[in-house]
Amino acid sequence: MSPWKWIIAAIILFFAVQHWRNRPLPVPPGSIAPNEPVQTSGSGKTYDQNNYKLTALADFTVEARVLSKQTYSSDREAELAPVDLALGWGSMSDTAVLDQLSIGQSNRFYFYRWEKEPPRPPAEIATHSANMHLIPTTPALEKIMKDVRVGQVVKIRGQLVEAKAADGWHWRSSLTRDDTGAGACELIRVEAIEVK
């Protein structure tokens, strides 16, 4: 076999393994993450990370089903948050509901759509799911985030933060679950993540 054929075979094998490792998990119907996220007043404590200043706006814990995952490496935000998870809780963790939606992520946004009728009221879909930008505080946490699979339940604990840089750049977390569109995502400084 020529060297080029070995290289092509290795590339195909690599992508096949990546696809297999990241394939969605089959999950039976029923809400598998029934509880609302918990948010309490933040300390205002500041953290330095990767030449950014992070200010805690609220303490935050969410246990939710992974609806979609996107990794980033080329935008400025990737210096802080290399992984975004679209998460769902309550009815948005139920396979019977999710099977009627098309869900994806792109350019730091999470989107969903349905064909004919929404499986739940649109306001409920919006308030029981969110795109969350994850800032890992250790390399081990970053690895866990990157290994998470669609369909798994994750429990994330940390702070909703505002990030600022010396050149004036800033990125601020949403502090409510009922907003949509630009600025509606949570920016989380992750102190712990558990995959269930």
Domain ranges across the chain: 29-195
pLDDT at residue 65 in the model: 97
Are 109 and 132 in contact by the 8 Å Cβ rule? The answer is no
Scan for tokens 């099977």, then name that residue: 99
Task: Say how many C-beta atoms besides its own lie within 10 A of residue 191's C-beta.
Answer: 17
Q: How far apart are CA 27 and CA 41, in angstroms?
A: 34
- Mode of pairing for the β-strands spanning 102-106 and 109-113: antiparallel
Scan for tokens 């396979």, then name that residue: 95
What are the CA-CA distances from residue 106 to residues 84, 97, 114, 142 (Å)? 10, 22, 18, 20
pTM to 2 decimals? 0.86
pLDDT at residue 14 in the model: 46
Task: For 124-148, give one letter per residue: b (16+ CB within 10 A) or e.
Answer: ebbbbbbbbbbbbeeeebbebbeeb
Task: Say how many C-beta atoms besides its own lie within 10 A of residue 91's C-beta.
Answer: 19
pLDDT at residue 165 in the model: 96
Structure token digits, residue 143: 């690895």
pLDDT at residue 143 in the model: 97
pLDDT at residue 78 in the model: 96
E strand spans, the chain: 38-41, 46-49, 52-71, 83-88, 102-106, 109-113, 129-136, 153-164, 170-172, 186-195
How does pLDDT run along the chain (196 residues), one tens digit per residue?
A: 677 666 655 555 544 444 445 556 666 678 899 999 999 987 789 999 999 999 999 999 999 999 999 999 999 999 999 999 999 999 999 999 999 999 999 999 999 999 999 999 999 999 999 999 999 999 999 999 999 999 999 999 999 999 999 999 999 999 999 888 888 999 999 999 999 8
Are 153 and 196 in contact by the 8 Å Cβ rule? The answer is yes
What are the CA-CA distances from residue 40 to residues 48, 104, 130 (Å)? 22, 29, 18
Q: How far apart are CA 98 and CA 118, in angstroms?
A: 10
